[in-house]
A and B are shown apart, each in its own frame.
Chain A
Amino acid sequence: MKIAFENQVAAPQLPSRTAYGDNQTGTHLPERAGFLNGVIVPEQPGKNAIEVRGVRKVFGTGENQVAALDTVSVSIRENEFFTLLGPSGCGKTTLLRLIAGFDFPTAGEILLHGKDIAPLPPFKRPVNTVFQSYALFPHMTVAQNIGFGLEMLGKPKAEIEARVAQMLKLVKMEALKARRTSQISGGQQQRVALARALAPQPKVLLLDEPLSALDYKLRKEMQIELKRLQHETGITFIFVTHDQEEALTMSDRIAVMSAGKILQVGTPRDIYDRPAERFVADFIGETNFLPGTVVSKQAGVATVKFASNATISAGYPEGFDPTGEVTLVVRPEHADLVPDPAKGTIAGTLANIVYFGTDTHYHVKLDGGGENFIVRHQNSRSSAVTYETGVKVGIQFEEDAARVLKD
């Protein structure tokens, strides 16, 4: 049962897309269409490598039923480095396994270039996986591992050899091609796993936390390496990770997942600067949460009053209607300390100063109570003002630094 890739990728005709509540930004809920601050990028039909439509995955039966994925829809574009980011148990690996074909969705469709692949077994999908454990065949050499997929596809021997040589060069493993996989280091195994998955030239490469077993320095190297490989091969990468830093530095777009749902899809900057929900803001980067009351609102900007009676205008995501008691989020680096408490938006007492080398964190105990507010200052050669713990300070926000978010 050999696979003709062409059969599966030709036929880009798409059924009606609106029926699935999909929208133009690639997020699954219509009310989230304004993530890109009104900039709507029109997608051309057929330019999506993978489209996940209303996919549900339920494990177990009867009372033990667990919905690992709760009606997820997402579009992944061609040649994109797309990351599924979320804490463990959020369903990101389940989604990846559904795309790979190791599991079948309980409901919904998975389209590869417009063709539903959800019912196909993995060996009939032009999609390859880099496993978290690498899953290299211990009874084969490095070169045999890399050539395995091509061999299974029934490619001629000369072609396999040429392609394996090319892949060995791509991942810089030429010198070790005759080694057994047990005779090479973890980082080298990682490279072989990548080469093995890339060798059959899949339409989409799935990566299931491939860097989690590597030490910090090697991980940094492999992050750059992965970006380079994606750039050189032009293959769509779907990368699963729980490491937000990894997601931010590598991805073209990120989908943040929690409890079987996709909360937000966007570029790293979107996700970081304009989180759609409190969970997203909390999960990615450090965030200050400030309680306040909405006084008035218009055109996506709400005026919020704090306990100290100070007011501030803050944006909120489209489709969310903030009223009454709300939570404001402010990134530590988007706030500033001022020596005069009266000049700040809010005021407090400097409780702690933590020096991090590149920057300094100031922990401020707010006058209104609640959690300490953290202000991050980039350290420069000539820091003008020095602060000491115990002094009264004001906290100033940059223009539209604060956002009102759904809990």
Chain B
Amino acid sequence: MTTAALSSAPPSKAALFEAKAVKTSARRNRLLSLPALIIIGIFGVLPLIIICVYSFLVAAPYGGVQWQFSTDAYLNFLFQRDIFDDTLQFTPDFLIIYLRSFLFAVVTTVICLLLGFPTAYFMATRPPAQRNWWVLLITIPFWSNLLVRTLAIMFIIRDEGLVNNALIGLGVIDKPITMLYTNFAIQLGLLYAFLPFMVLPLYSSLEKLDFRLIEAAYDLYATRRQVLWRVIIPLSKPGIIAGCLLVFIPALGAYVTPLILGGGIHLMIGDLIAQQFGSGRNWPLGCAQALILMAAVLVALYFYVRKHVGQGAAWLSPASWISRTSRASARSPSSACWCSMCRCSS
């Protein structure tokens, strides 16, 4: 193409053909992404616009909205209008639910990380043939519906459930311990639901870790603890970040788990928003609550990722978190290692 463009002579047939081929392939590549773009446009962007618009409207008495501009939905999030003198009074009810949800999500993320890291490390240090089986085991819960699995937890922890019956049978306790419909139940359900989302990114990060670096660190007088903090954790940071995001964000907006295991007594954001569209019959408030949640997550995410990944636009793309892990080069097979922490035994 370049030669054809440079010379004043008319482009040869071959050059024309090449130019055409390049053009078609570019067009074809764009076409390939079209179905996904259409789906994202219709089911992602459009609903978001609708939510945005609805949040600035007035609630109709029996659900739905009246087409009349109002910022009441946002005001109602923090204030309540007095029925008699029409003044705004600060009510922290929604805020408390938001903060509690935030706390649940943080605790879930931290515990998932503490449980998930050793698990992922164990998986990543198995012989390659075994590793796939471990990944399969981790993904088995995904094969059945979350609702069913949450109901199963209910049967395990309720007053006449498996745990209480076993403890009473063994004579450890006289009366059943109330676990269902408590904060504990919600927390347990969240941990159970989101643990795989922590383990899998951690595993994919640790799996790419060059275990010769661990040997090098030991050789340079690092103790096991120092190897963990100075080499393994910094190098698996992309996996840690991805795992934390994949757990924190859905945990914050979790709906089914707190609804079933909390029994509607201990509300989380998801329940609260759902209520506005159901019994609350306040669609604009629900929309506003959803947008406030989204804004809060985006702000938190921005600071979190900027702190851990570095500045620049790259923080937005998960690809950049993954590419950081893949720098580690191929491992050489070596003999059984003394440290029993790495998978040198392959």
Contacts and interface: CB of A to CB of B under 8 A. Distances in A.
Interface string A91-122: 00010010011111000000000000000011
Contacts of A283: none
Contacts of A102: 215, 218-219, 334, 337-339, 344
B335 A123 contact: no
Nearest to A127: B219
A112 B22 CA distance: 66
Contacts of B329: 133
B237 to A, nearest CB: 8
Interface stretch (B24-32, B176-184, B190-198, B221-229): B221-229
B126 interface: no
A197 B332 CA distance: 20
Interface residues of A, number: 34
Interface string A126-149: 011101110111110000000011
Contacts of B222: 123, 148, 152
A59 interface: yes
A200 interface: yes
B217 A148 contact: yes
Contact of B218 (A123, A136, A196, A200): A123
B335 A196 contact: no
A55 to B, nearest CB: 14
B88 to A, nearest CB: 52
A139 B216 contact: no
Contacts of A152: 217, 220-223, 226, 230
B335 A1 contact: no
Contacts of A59: 335-336
| Interface-central residue, B210, B215, B327, B329, by most chain A CB under 10 Å | B215
Contacts of B230: 148, 152
Given A131-B212, A133-B332, A138-B327, A103 B338 contact: yes
Nearest to B345: A59
A152 B218 CA distance: 10
B327 A97 contact: no
A121 B338 contact: yes
Interface in B307-346: 327-329, 332, 334-339, 344
Contacts of A153: 221
B26 to A, nearest CB: 32
A182 to B, nearest CB: 6
A97 B221 contact: no
Contacts of B337: 102-103
A7 to B, nearest CB: 14
B234 interface: yes
A207 interface: no
A137 B210 CA distance: 10
B210 A135 contact: yes
Interface in B274-303: none
A375 interface: no
B338 A104 contact: yes
Contacts of A401: none
Looking at A3, A121, A133, A200, the one whose CB has the most chain B CB atoms below 10 A away is A133
Contacts of B334: 97, 102
A200 B221 contact: yes
A133 B336 CA distance: 19
B123 interface: no
Contacts of A133: 210, 212, 329, 332
A139 B220 CA distance: 16
A149 B221 contact: yes
Contacts of A149: 220-221
A197 B220 CA distance: 7
Contacts of A196: 220
B48 interface: no
Given A135-B212, A138-B327, A138-B328, A200 B335 contact: no
A68 interface: yes
The winner among B213, B329, B335 for most chain A CB atoms within 10 A is: B335
Contact of A121 (B218, B328, B344): B218
Nearest to A196: B220
B235 interface: yes
Contact of B336 (A101, A103, A129): A103
B28 to A, nearest CB: 34
Contact of A129 (B219, B223, B237): B219
B231 interface: yes
Contact of A137 (B226, B231, B237, B344): B231
Interface in B51-80: none
Contacts of B335: 59, 68, 94, 97, 103
18 contacts: A2-B221, A97-B334, A100-B219, A102-B337, A102-B344, A103-B337, A104-B338, A122-B218, A123-B220, A123-B222, A127-B219, A133-B210, A133-B332, A137-B231, A138-B327, A139-B235, A148-B217, A148-B222
Top 4 closest pairs, chain A to chain B, by CB: A149-B220, A135-B216, A152-B221, A122-B218
